[in-house]
Amino acid sequence: MTRLSLLLAASLFTLNASALELAKYPQVFNAGNGVSVTVAPSSDGKQALIQVSGINHPLDEVVLLSTVNERGNDERDYTTTLNGSSYNMLLKRQGWGGEQYQLYLPSTDGFELGFDESKSKQAKPANLLALYEQQMKKGIQDKLSRFDREQRLADFSAQLQQIDQDASKACDTPLHTQVDWQAIDDDKLKRLSVPSFCGEVVNQLANLCQNDADYKAEAKSLKTVECSFAAKLKLRENEATLTFTTHEEAPNQGDFINAFLRNR
């Protein structure tokens, strides 16, 4: 998404919010540890304002306009734009005990939400809308929606580091995944979970080490995984380095990697 398209989207969201007729009764949820979530749906149920409060996070107290995507069976996703990509911030699902809500914020684990009837009765949708418009004038939502390549790279690098640490622990040997970040364009960084693709090699190494103690000796001969995106799925070994080229549409990548590692 380009800078211009983001600005147009933000302008459209502002117009939609200004003309937005909110339903009379908002919902407030308790996420535990002092964290609360206020959801003020539009009267037609197609949009909703969402505010998370009480958490040390860049989204704390920010009011975001979300699109409500119905999934059927009274399940829905509340989707907004963060860091250049669509982001499902709030999910409603049907469980054995009835409806369940989960909150997801970038760089955090998910939160299970419980309905707070008392705070829901006290919430004022008009106040939430006014705060949203104030924050929009300051450019708060625009800054959050705009793609930040450096932040995305930092987030992905941290995720890969954790995957490497888990695999290193499972195999009792240091393993490190290197990614050719310069060769990955912004579109791929927005659309794809790069750690899920490039981290799959050490993931499969960890699985083999956990399922077969003898394989740990095999893993000790490996140190580095070099990962890049290409037109075809490939994996080759050169001394202590595995060179992995992945493709977003290649199926069964885990099986392919596992078979290579078992037969190397």
Mind listing the pLDDT tens digit for each residue in 67-101? 999 998 899 999 999 999 999 999 999 988 889 99
The number of folded domains in the chain is: 2
User: CB under 8 Å to 218, separation ≥6 — which residues?
Assistant: 208, 264
Residue 118 and residue 161 in one domain: no
User: CB under 8 Å to 10, separation ≥6 — which residues?
Assistant: 136, 141, 142, 145
Residue 136 and residue 238 in one domain: no
State which residues form the domain around 201.
149-262
pLDDT, tens digit (0-9, with 9 covering 90-100), for 114-170: 999 999 999 999 999 999 999 999 999 999 999 999 999 999 999 999 999 999 999
- The rounded distance, in Å, linking the Cα atoms of 12 and 253 is 40
Given 102, 130, 145, the domain boundary residue is 145
Residue 133 and residue 170 in one domain: no
Given 112, 145, 178, the domain boundary residue is 145
Residue 89 and residue 158 in one domain: no
Residue 136 and residue 215 in one domain: no
This model's pTM is above 0.85: no
Residue 108 and residue 56 in one domain: yes
Given 91, 117, 145, the domain boundary residue is 145
CB 41 within 8 A of CB 47: yes
Residue 10 and residue 136 in one domain: yes
Predicted confidence (pLDDT) at residue 206 exceeds the cutoff of 70: yes
Residue 136 and residue 109 in one domain: yes
Supply 30's token pair: 């308790």
Strand order in the sheet with 241-246: 176-179, 224-229, 241-246, 234-238
SS (H, E, C) 213-241: CCHHHHHCCCCEEEEEECCCCEEEEECCE
Any idea what DSSP says for residue 182? Answer: G
Nearest to 179 by CA among 248, 250, 246, 234: 246
